[in-house]
Structure 1
Amino acid sequence: MNTQLPSPLRLAIVGGGPGGLTLARTLHLHGIAATVFEQESHALERPQGGTLDLHEESGLLALRQAGLLEAFQAIARYDDQGTRLLDKAGNVLFEDQDAASGDRPEVDRTELRAMLLKALPATCVRWGCTMREVRARHDGRWDLAFDHGNEGPFDLVVGADGAWSKVRPLLSPYRPQYSGLTFVECGIDDVDRSHPTLSQLVGRGKMSVEADCKEIIAQRNGNAHIRAYAIFRVPADWAAGRFDIASPASMRTELLKEFDGFAPEILDLFRVSNDSFAIRLICALPVGHCWAGRRGLTLLGDAAHVMSPFGGDGVNNAMFDAVELARLLAERADWNEAVAEYESLMFARVVESAEGAAEGAATQLSHIGQELALEMYRSHASGTSLLPAPSTAPGSVPVTLQ
């Protein structure tokens, strides 16, 4: 650990998700102070989304560099790494035989965030800060304009504020574009006790059913909760005209109509769901998205390279972005050069996962989708990947969380 005195650099992190908090934690280890500005009023203001799988070469490596791997073991769910593929009649086409043997442990988003917050000084995160604008000062520094007033000046502002970042427009004109895929999300509570048949159907991890150019994915979360997604390839305004999100009963009725012909035990995912439904449009920035450097500004995570959830790399990329930026800021005498080096390395590093995610989204729900999914799972199990496996956390697409 770097024992240098705190840096005089005034650094603001916009966004208190996994990427922003990992950056703040790693900077703290290096003796560099940062302030995280988060628009939510407290950590539990809203549900944080579904389960995440952390990868050895990125998310887990980031936790190791942040000194949090031991703390992570207390919340990791190694037993929930399984995959099941069913046909619409409920027949099992593919199933992991040993779900706990994988190297991509699951963790609930809420638990991960709580762990990161616990590892930060109490004054590091400023809650209830809804940012309106990043304003350039005449001296090259930046002010942040919030509902409650201005904060600053800051030498460096890091946009970790997700798909619809308010920092990104100062660096790049690109906005995430709709992929053609819409997810309708619902959840089942206390599934092991109240719905044991559904619990067995989903198994220890993720269950998917693809047929008739539609798909259902259900994933096990912590605390006996299952999160399910109905997936459609439709125009961006289709779901808003089809579903009444304010009426849970109507949502269930329409979902049952859409998946008419699927086995009754599969459709029970909709019948017994709780009343919390959400419509999520899957959007992504272009593969290879980059920008010309601008002094005092940079991006990480989904603000820099939001992609579809197929591959599950979103949070892993964000956390690795964070530790790489922190490392370079600690190692380089010139922080501006550190940021430029970080951006150059990050642009090249995320291309492969962005390409895989884009290909996964493009081939999803094709007329031979079930056959492609089966081939993909078999190749993944044998260690010869053809396409990235669908993420065990489709809800991780941050366009839906802003």
Structure 2
Amino acid sequence: MNSSQTVAQGASQFKIAVVGGGLGGLTLASVLQHAYKIKCAVFEFDDHINSRNQGGSLDLHVESGQLALEKAGLTDQFRKHARYQGQDLVLADMTGKILMKHVGSEGPTGGELDRPEIDRTVLRQMLIDSLDEDTIQWGKKVIKIEEGSKDNGKHPHTLTFQDGQTGTFDLVVGADGAWSKIRKLMSEATPVYSGVTMIEGRMSNVDIDHPEVSKLVGDGTFWGLQNNKGLLCQRNGDGSIRVYIALRIEENSLSYLDYSNPEIPRKYLMDLFSDWDDSLKALIEESSTFIQRGIYMLPTDYTWKSHPGVTLIGDAAHLMTPFAGEGANMAMLDGAKLATAISEIAYNGKDLATTLDNFERDMHNIVTPLATESFENMNTLISENGPQATLKFFAMMGNDNAAP
């Protein structure tokens, strides 16, 4: 690799399709372009960047999400938006009694607990802005993937899109989320319900319009837990607070509620939390909208038989519960590591099938314990004695910020 021009020419014949423009797929594309001068095409189902809400705030871990951004050359950009005060955490029981307060660092430490918050929308935009203009093709829904004839060690696959167009690629990367179409080529596994449903509420301009809630939640995260229920709150960088009302209930048992009328789920939830302290019920009472989100997961030890010419990253590969903050971080790390593996194929002539198999084995080894941890964390928080179990967990972790 004598120059970037030589690099680009050397990889130009290797055609890569990334199905899905979430954080994993975008990180893969960004690292490919920035670190290895390799082009790919990202096919995104959404019609445009603002088609739907991208969710709340993420904590990016130094050994995964931040490492991936470093490989994409985006560390300085990240630091401009990172909210280190977002690492603060407050734990309370249903009476409103504060059981623990953890205060995060005021800036980067480089250590294991260097996990500042960044809004998902901001992070996604940062990755999109780092890509060549023609990288993402919007409104491209994949409806079929077909394997072509093997030739000289290549394993081409053809994608068919909803608009009738097709494309053939040397490598197809399924970065298409929980209900991945590409995963169906690899195995028959589908996500299963975890046992917990969240109903997401939101308050905007909280410092002015919801001052008591703003004070309760603070600069980071607030957890109110008890009796297999939780009020899990996070402050976002846009001055809003998201409230995730977690309930251990049967799958789809609240789907009958009309969420288009916020007063209907609000009444149900206020009745459900009627014995909780008023300061906590305000998190429900003052939310302006409600969205039901069942929590689904793949088996924590999920693997598949490697399929040359196709691989999976992110939620398509290892959908997990959100109770360890690892889902987005692992998706981004997957993207960065796959980019490195692709560079070995494109420049050094490494065997495609063997390289993908090695990448997948490494990914499974990293993710399996984290997916297990996340599921166990969910069962700790959303339990009959959630506050006490969570306090015990933090004590075992060496947290010394418990409230008196």
Alignment of 1:3-402 (within 5 A): 3=4, 4-6=7-9, 7=11, 8-29=13-34, 30-98=36-104, 100=106, 103-139=114-150, 140-241=155-256, 243-275=257-289, 277-332=290-345, 333-334=349-350, 335-382=352-399
State the 1:381 CA deviation.
4.9
**Partner-residue secondary structure (3-state), 2:81:** coil
Distance in 2 between the 1:67 and 1:60 partners?
Answer: 10
Higher mean alpha-carbon deviation, 307-316 vs 245-254, is at 245-254
Distance in 1 (CA, whole Å) between partners of 2:82 and 2:361 is 32
Q: Residues 277-314 of structure 1: CA distance to partner in whole angstroms, max 9, x if unpaired?
A: 21111111112211111121000011000111111100
Identical pairs, percent: 38
Q: Give aligned pairs, total.
A: 381
CA distance in 1, matches of 2:126, 2:116: 15
Q: 1:98 to 1:345 in 2, by over 3 A?
A: closer
Q: How far has the Cα of 1:379 moved from its partner?
A: 3.4
Deviation at 1:214, TM superposition (A): 1.2
Task: Report the counterpart of residue 400 of structure 1 in structure 2.
Answer: none
TM-score (norm 2): 0.91
Q: Is the 8 A contact 1:59 1:317 kept in 2?
A: yes
Which consecutive unaligned segments of at least 5 residues does structure 2 have? 108-112
Amino acid at match of 1:194: D
CA contact (8 A) 2:142 2:162 kept: yes
For residue 386 of structure 1, what is the aligned residue in structure 2?
none
Of stretches 314-323 and 211-220 in structure 1, the one that deviates more from structure 2 is 211-220
Partners of 1:190 and 1:225 within 8 A in 2 = yes
TM-score, length basis structure 1? 0.91
* Equivalent in the alignment of 1:387: none
Q: Partners of 1:370 and 1:345 in 2: how far apart? A: 35
Once the two structures are superposed, residues 351-402 of structure 1 have per-residue CA deviations (whole angstroms, 9 ceiling, x without a partner) of 110110122233342222210111223333539xxxxxxxxxxxxxxxxxxx
Q: CA RMSD in A?
A: 1.6
The gaps in structure 1 that reach 5 residues or longer are 384-402
**Do the aligned partners of 1:85 and 1:209 also contact (CA within 8 Å) in 2?**
yes
Q: Which 4+ runs in 1 deviate beyond 4 A?
A: none
1:308-350 deviation digits (Å, cap 9, x = unpaired): 1111100110111111111111124223332222112111111
CA contact (8 A) 1:198 1:269 kept: yes
How much does 1:66 deviate? Answer: 1.3
Structure 1 window deviating more from structure 2 (108-117 vs 342-351): it is 342-351
- Matches of 1:213 and 1:46, distance apart in 2: 30
Structure 1: how far apart are the matches of 2:386 and 2:326? 22
- Counterparts of 2:370 and 2:301 in 1: how far apart (Å)? 10
- Does structure 1 conserve the Cα–Cα contact (< 8 Å) formed by 2:84 and 2:104? no
Counterpart-to-counterpart distance in 2, 1:81 and 1:215: 19
Tell me the SS of whatever aligns to 1:42: coil
SS in 1 for 2:17: strand
Give the AA of the match of 1:73: R
Aligned residue for 1:239, secondary structure, equals: coil
User: Can you list the C-alpha shifts for 1:149-207, whole angstroms capped at 9, x where unaligned?
Assistant: 22311111000001100000100111111110000111001001111111000011110
Q: Residue 191 of structure 1 contacts residue 225 of structure 1 at CA under 8 Å; is this kept in 2?
A: yes
Which range moved further: 98-107 or 221-230? 98-107
